Amino acid sequence: MAARDGAAALDQAAYTALVAELNDYAYRYYVLDQPSVPDAEYDRLYRQLIRYEAAAPERVASNSPSQRVGDRPLDGFIQVDHRTPMLSLDNAFSDDDLGEFVGRLEERLKRTEPLRFACEPKLDGVAVSILYRRGELVRAATRGDGSRGEEITQNVKTIKNIPLRLAADSAPELLEVRGEIYMSRSGFEAFNRRARDSGDKPFVNPRNAAAGSLRQLDSRITASRPLLFCCYSVGEIEAAGRSWMNHSELLASLAEWGLPINPLSETVEGVAACNDYYQRLAAQRDGLGYDIDGIVYKVDSFELQRRLGSVARAPRWAIARKFPAQEELTELLDVEYQVGRTGAVTPVARLAPVFVGGVTVSNATLHNRDEMVRLDLHHGDTVIVRRAGDVIPQVVGVVAERRREAAEPFAFPQRCPVCQSPVERDAEQAVSRCSGGLFCAAQVKQAIKHFVSRKAMDIDGLGDKLVDQLVDSEVIFSVADLYDLTAERLVELERMGAKSADNLVAAIAASRTTTLAKFVYALGVREVGEATAAALARAFGDLPALLSASLDELLEVDDVGPVVAARVREFFANPDNVAIIEALQGAGVSWPALAAADPAAQPLHGQTWVVTGTLAEMGRSEAKERLQALGAKVAGSVSAKGHCLVAGPGAGSKLSKAEALGIEVIDEATFVQRLAGWEGAR
Ligand code: 9MJ
């Protein structure tokens, strides 16, 4: 590695090796889903590559990762002919439809023994064709009408799980591979969140997002979108001396050449096994992380495929069995507004119940005021509801043509629907907030629900309904009032028995002893989640220090940036909040002191540790917690700043990296011994 320290020192062989190394890391990350180096390491090597290429542009390799993005937008897309038409698929909607399909095949082939089928999840994206000559990606095109599509080579090259050059010496002379370009649900949600936050138009669904991202003339835009590829068939192949008997074998070869295939594909025999595969995938569908709209069944044998042939634009040997839709139309009955813990006012659509994505939906989020304006909702509108995976249902569009003539538009409220305080638009976000603060019953309720939740004060038996009841009947006005509740007062509430009242009072009493981290989290400071609360507690040790911390002091805490620091300052500068904290402490809420500033109690202060491999005596999370209690920062990857790596059996690249960087490596036994020493001294 020493020869790679400076770009100038990089010779041609080292450059070629660097390209191969980066491509291998990307392959492990994007195709195998098994990252082998931390992102920071990849980035460092990538920067080195760019430095070299800038100094020697004539030597840039065509498969260098830098070649994924073009530096100039296109003037327009060129039409290209597909040498072999890209077929579409017939659909089946039930077990009966599938049975009939298989019956037709058996009749045509005049056979009774069960047929073998390749079963594949049907991805819901954009179908493309990618051409490799002598292993090099030379052209990519959309399906278009099946015979003609648009050339999108530059955009397709930006997709990180598509190899620019096929792996292995056995790559074919010519390969035209087909598959789907799609966006994962998390990529789609993240993209839309950013779009909404900055007032841009979100995409309706991941398929539209993938299509819109590919239709860019500037490949730098495509490169910024989280697109992925999965291949499922071959249009043309020329591979001297090699032939394939069936589809599943050919897919295995595609994977050997570095192309991504769907790991859930299987071959099965007979119609019952096909239906069984459908049921298994239907059960997994919500958790897949990407949208699938059905299962594709393909006769596995190429010989039988050839004998069956095609009709019109679909092969006879394949069919798509559809899942229940993830988008449906329904009637918009009303729009209501929910007020959250921080006052955020979220519009929610009340809908005529509709079965979508496997459940009956009667409410869907409208996100925020901008989204409502964009959708231009009117009373009684027909709306498109989407529910995919475990993402909450959303209204993604309106069928404007179906709008009744005199339909009234919905207007976002100027005043909080709960406390009537003015609703204000957040300056930096697209969020509208009720300005009522603790005067607003909705915000008080949410604050209490958060306060009592498991990761906060963990008060068992105080469910959402009971909190609503306590606030609505004006028994409590803030979290501090919880500690004055008596069993006598509680039994006066509707549906509250003596035993439950006693249990609740006991649970509230037990919550008085907590930790500083849980207490800080329970306060519900905006942007302060569990991990940040723990970091703040560790850094300041006790509440007075945190209450009086300056912005600069807050910024020194791990993972605290300017936004979080400002929120913390704002929260503790508010006298109402301070009064509640004092009331809670007055009611006996307390925690064991953490000696943040005491060097004896924090012997690992300022050190960064990494834990990897399997620890037999304690889990990695326990190891992490104990290290943090001693003041160490525990990182996910090894860097030059690291102090020590605890490596159990099975440690991989982190171990070799620590050794290469000369960082101390200890095994679990040594670790346990040292822990005992430090913890004993406290
Ligand atoms: C999708 N969309 O996942 C095919 N597809 O095969 C799979 N589409 C297909 N196969 C021939 N897995 C034409 C289309």
If one residue of 122, 228, 248 were mutated to test the ligand 1 pocket, choosing by the most ligand atoms within 8 A of its CB, it would be: 122
User: What are 5-62's pLDDT values in tens digits?
Assistant: 444 557 888 999 999 999 998 888 888 877 777 777 888 899 889 889 988 888 899 8
Residues of the chain with pLDDT > 90: what percent? 69
User: What are 375-429's pLDDT values in tens digits?
Assistant: 999 999 999 999 988 889 999 999 988 899 999 999 999 999 999 999 998 777 7
Atom number, ligand 1, closest to the C-alpha of residue 314: 13
Relative orientation angle of helices 95-109 and 271-284, to the nearest 10 degrees: 150
In this predicted structure, the answer to whether residue 241 has a pLDDT above a threshold of 90 is no
What count of Cα atoms within 13 Å lies in the side-chain half-sphere of residue 186? 3
Q: Please work out whether the CB of residue 124 comes within 6 Å of at least one atom of ligand 1.
A: no
In this predicted structure, the answer to whether residue 563 has a pLDDT above a threshold of 60 is yes
Residue appearing with tokens 């005049």: 110
How far is the CA of 427 from the CAs of 198, 431, 528, in angstroms? 11, 8, 20
Q: Please work out whether the CB of residue 291 comes within 6 Å of at least one atom of ligand 1.
A: no
Nearest to 290 by CA among 188, 365, 359: 188
Residues of the chain with pLDDT > 70: what percent? 97
| Most confident stretch, 130-134, 399-403, 640-644 | 130-134
In this predicted structure, the answer to whether residue 677 has a pLDDT above a threshold of 80 is yes
How many A from CA of 287 to the centre of ligand 1? 21
Which residue's CA is minimally distant from atom 14 of ligand 1?
88
If one residue of 119, 176, 207, 233 were mutated to test the ligand 1 pocket, choosing by the most ligand atoms within 8 A of its CB, it would be: 233
In this predicted structure, the answer to whether residue 4 has a pLDDT above a threshold of 50 is no
Nearest to 516 by CA among 495, 493, 494, 542: 542
Of 378-382, 462-466, 546-550, 635-639, which gets the smallest average pLDDT? 635-639
At 1, is the pLDDT very low, low, confident or very high (cuts 50, 70, 90)? very low
User: What are 179-197's pLDDT values in tens digits?
Assistant: 999 999 999 999 999 998 8
What pLDDT sits at residue 109?
Answer: 96
Atom number, ligand 1, closest to the C-alpha of residue 87: 13
How many A from CA of 128 to the centre of ligand 1? 10
What pLDDT sits at residue 5?
Answer: 46
Q: Please work out whether the CB of residue 264 comes within 6 Å of at least one atom of ligand 1.
A: no
Atom number, ligand 1, closest to the C-alpha of residue 265: 12
What pLDDT sits at residue 151?
Answer: 96
| H or E stretch at 578 | helix 575-586
What pLDDT sits at residue 201?
Answer: 86
How many CB atoms neighbour CB 353 within 10 A?
Answer: 12
Atom number, ligand 1, closest to the C-alpha of residue 88: 13
User: What are 649-675's pLDDT values in tens digits?
Assistant: 888 888 888 888 888 999 999 999 999
Q: Please work out whether the CB of residue 122 comes within 6 Å of at least one atom of ligand 1.
A: yes
What pLDDT sits at residue 499?
Answer: 95
User: What are 610-638's pLDDT values in tens digits?
Assistant: 999 888 888 787 888 788 888 888 887 88
At 600, is the pLDDT very low, low, confident or very high (cuts 50, 70, 90)? low
The residues assigned a catalytic role are 122
Q: Please work out whether the CB of residue 123 comes within 6 Å of at least one atom of ligand 1.
A: yes
Residue appearing with tokens 């690291």: 642
What pLDDT sits at residue 138?
Answer: 96
Average pLDDT, the chain: 91
What pLDDT sits at residue 598?
Answer: 60
Q: Please work out whether the CB of residue 296 comes within 6 Å of at least one atom of ligand 1.
A: yes
How many CB atoms neighbour CB 308 within 10 A?
Answer: 18
User: What are 488-532's pLDDT values in tens digits?
Assistant: 999 999 889 999 999 999 999 999 999 999 999 999 999 999 989
How many A from CA of 460 to the centre of ligand 1? 50
Q: Is residue 558 helix, strand or coil?
A: coil
Residue type, 671: F
Q: Is residue 442 helix, strand or coil?
A: helix
Handedness of CA 130, 133, 135, 136 (dihedral sign): negative
Which residue's CA is minimally distant from atom 8 of ligand 1?
122
User: What are 468-491's pLDDT values in tens digits?
Assistant: 999 999 999 999 999 999 999 999
Please state, in angstroms and rounded to a whole number, the distance separating the CA atoms of residues 540 and 516.
10
Atom number, ligand 1, closest to the C-alpha of residue 122: 3
If one residue of 89, 182, 323 were mutated to test the ligand 1 pocket, choosing by the most ligand atoms within 8 A of its CB, it would be: 89
Q: What is the mean pLDDT of residues 244-248?
A: 97
How many A from CA of 581 to the centre of ligand 1? 60
How many A from CA of 597 to the centre of ligand 1? 62
Q: Please work out whether the CB of residue 232 comes within 6 Å of at least one atom of ligand 1.
A: yes
How many A from CA of 303 to the centre of ligand 1? 19
Residue 89, both tokens: 């698929």
How many A from CA of 321 to the centre of ligand 1? 11
Which residue's CA is minimally distant from atom 10 of ligand 1?
232
**Taking a C-beta distance cutoff of 8 angstroms, is the pair 626, 679 a contact?**
yes
What pLDDT sits at residue 634?
Answer: 81
